[in-house]
Amino acid sequence: MGPQALSQVLRHIPVSHDPRLLVGLNTSDDAAVYQLNDGQALIQTVDFFTPMVDDPYLYGQIAAANALSDIYAMGGKPLLALNIVCFPDCLPHTVLEEIIRGGAEKVSEAGAIIAGGHTVRDAEPKYGLSVTGLARPEQITANAGAMAGDLLVLTKPLGTGIIINGVKAQLVSARAADEAARTMAALNRLASEAMLRHGAGACTDITGFGLLGHALEMAEASGVAMEIDFASLPLLPETMEMARLGLIPAGAYNNREYLGDLVKLDEGLKPEEQMLLFDPQTSGGLLLSIAASGAAKVVDELAEQGVRAAVIGRVLGREATGRQVLKVKRYCSASSGTPNR
Ligand code: CO
Ligand code: CO
């Protein structure tokens, strides 16, 4: 069963209508949000996965950055984290120590505290965090706040799934592999702080469902359509070369099938360019829906801080696109700057 099929099953969990639950199950959001009082909302999330890199310390960093990202995607600040560990008897304990050390370092970089955790024996290692964060209720950037006229900003380059495949096939250069690793291990903290300064309406992080899968969740929750300019997408180095070699993860095909005819791709897009749009991302960037003036400031301020963000498209009213909620154009238009490769 693919991840989408699983999430369909999970849709049948009874939905709570308690008014204190500001964000719950029904909008495919990154985290649950619970209103504590007029000025404070609690954010709760959990995320863990199997290794996608050989280095255990790097794996720990990536898994932690990915789990913390769901707090950042909601406009929150992480406070506390609990380790979730599955580990086999057959591997040396030093491997586990390195995973935990990588995770702890990221949590501390985020200004949060590891307050415990739980470990079970399992055939395959898995690691991640349950994270608790805090936000002002009016600043929560759920999926449902995208408005027609907003621009879409993406805060990390795409291609991690394809590059991970290329690394396994030993076809990616050391430099490109390092850059992908750095990108996956990077916190979305600066991006989240920039969006809070400039008032994004909606935000999600790009992970397993790929750019279009997560964009669709935001578009559906907000009742809008979106148009993405392919040429403006920031990419990890060597991504298109690997895609042309056919190193597309199986998850990308699942994502494409799931989205089906909700997406209209420009006929000028080559097959490998199309698949990039569905590439499952590990610890990807934030996708923001934000007014044009704010979008420019977010991109500029992040560039000054060394974060590669780009305007990648715009939010439209549903009436403009009919059934096709997402449209991808081949060429960038005036609002999205110069091609990024
Ligand atoms: Co998420
Ligand atoms: Co998540």
Q: How many helices (H) and strands (E) does the chain have?
A: 11, 13
From ligand 1's centre to the CA of 72, what distance in Å?
9
Q: Is 89 helix (H, G, I), strand (E, B) or coil?
A: coil
From ligand 2's centre to the CA of 250, what distance in Å?
19
Q: How confident is the model at residue 319 (pLDDT cuts 50, 70, 90)?
A: confident
* Ligand found nearest the CA of 188: 1
* Helix or strand run (H / E) with residue 44: strand 40-49
Per-residue pLDDT reduced to its tens digit, 171-221? 999 999 999 999 999 999 999 999 999 999 999 999 999 999 999 999 999
Percent of the chain with pLDDT over 90: 84
pTM of the full structure? 0.92
Identify the CA nearest to 221 among candidates 73, 36, 333: 73
* Ligand found nearest the CA of 72: 1
Cα torsion angle, 56, 107, 172, 241, sign = positive
**How many residues comprise the chain?**
341
Identify the CA nearest to 76 among candidates 29, 124, 114: 29
Q: What is the pLDDT, as a whole number, of residue 3? A: 60
First to last CA, the chain: 36
Q: How confident is the model at residue 336 (pLDDT cuts 50, 70, 90)?
A: very low
* Ligand found nearest the CA of 131: 2
From ligand 1's centre to the CA of 89, what distance in Å?
31
For range 216-244, the mean pLDDT? 96
Per-residue pLDDT reduced to its tens digit, 44-97? 999 999 999 999 999 999 999 999 999 999 999 999 999 999 999 999 999 999
Q: What is the DSSP letter of 235?
A: B
From ligand 2's centre to the CA of 2, what distance in Å?
16
Percent of the chain with pLDDT over 70: 94
From ligand 1's centre to the CA of 204, what distance in Å?
6
Q: What is the pLDDT, as a whole number, of residue 31? A: 86
Q: Examine the pLDDT at 339 and tell me if it is beyond 70.
A: no
Determine contact, residues 180/186, Cβ cutoff 8 Å: no
From ligand 1's centre to the CA of 71, what distance in Å?
8
Strand order in the sheet with 21-23: 21-23, 32-37, 40-49, 126-135, 77-87, 113-121
Q: What is the pLDDT, as a whole number, of residue 332? A: 55
* Ligand found nearest the CA of 48: 2
Identify the CA nearest to 76 among candidates 129, 21, 28, 139: 139
Could you list which residues have their CB under 5 Å from ion ligand 1?
Answer: 30, 70, 205
* Helix or strand run (H / E) with residue 102: helix 93-109
Q: Which residues contact 269 (CB under 8 A, 6 or more apart)?
A: 230, 328, 330
Q: How far, in Å, CA of 222 to CA of 103, rounded?
A: 34
Q: How far, in Å, CA of 209 to CA of 330, rounded?
A: 21
From ligand 1's centre to the CA of 338, what distance in Å?
28
Determine contact, residues 137/216, Cβ cutoff 8 Å: no
Q: Examine the pLDDT at 2 and tell me if it is beyond 80.
A: no
Identify the CA nearest to 284 among candidates 149, 183, 137, 175: 183
Q: How confident is the model at residue 9 (pLDDT cuts 50, 70, 90)?
A: confident
Q: ∠ CA 68-248-260 to the nearest 5 degrees?
A: 85
Q: Which of 24-33, 101-110, 182-191 has the lowest mean pLDDT?
A: 24-33
